[in-house]
Amino acid sequence: MTAETEIRAQLDRWFAGWSPGQTPFDAEGMRPLFAEGEIRVIDDFGDRVVTIDSFDGYVATWNPVMAGFADWAIRPHETPRIETSGDLAVVTFVFVGEGRTKTGDAVSAAQHVTQAWRRQGGTWVIVGEHITSDDPKKFGG
């Protein structure tokens, strides 16, 4: 299996983790997708920039946010681009998300994503993630 194929399979798991549908979201299920120890995550969520430096921080940040959703799913707008060099890779894509809050409000989002991946113990894992919001209408959302 090529590095790109392995990363794409892991990326499919990331999309599935962020697409719980009507099942309560739990970021903990994505732990195997992230490097052990230190990671770097930057996301311009809402009116602030969120920075996270561990997977425990990832769970502590996103589980409470997603608890407000009754339904949520994301999908790539186009096929994610994967570039590899040895045991390192960069993945870039735009995703569109749609769902509704527990109060019944419809929500849509579009975000540009850049992820840094590293082969760790024979498995490709995320070591960094940068996400920037955009207007979902630009992407059909």
Q: Look at residue 42 in the predicted model and tell me its pLDDT.
A: 96
Q: What are the φ/ψ torsions at residue 68 (nearest 5 degrees)?
A: -80, 0
Q: Look at residue 134 in the predicted model and tell me its pLDDT.
A: 86
Q: Is the pLDDT of residue 141 over 60?
A: no
Q: What are the φ/ψ torsions at residue 44 (nearest 5 degrees)?
A: -90, 75
Which residues constitute the domain of residue 120?
3-139
Measured in whole angstroms, the distance separating CA 23 from the mean position of its chain's CA atoms is 17
Kindly report, residue by residue over 92-114, the tens digit of the pLDDT.
999 999 999 999 999 999 999 99
pTM of the model: 0.94
* Domain harbouring 13, CATH code: 3.10.450.50
Kindly report, residue by residue over 44-64, the tens digit of the pLDDT.
977 789 999 999 999 999 999
Q: Is the pLDDT of residue 139 over 70?
A: no
Q: Is the pLDDT of residue 75 over 80?
A: yes
User: What is the total count of domains within the chain?
Assistant: 1
Average pLDDT (20-34) is 97
Pairing of strands 123-134, 38-43: parallel
Radius of gyration from C-alpha coordinates of the chain: 15
Q: Look at residue 48 in the predicted model and tell me its pLDDT.
A: 86
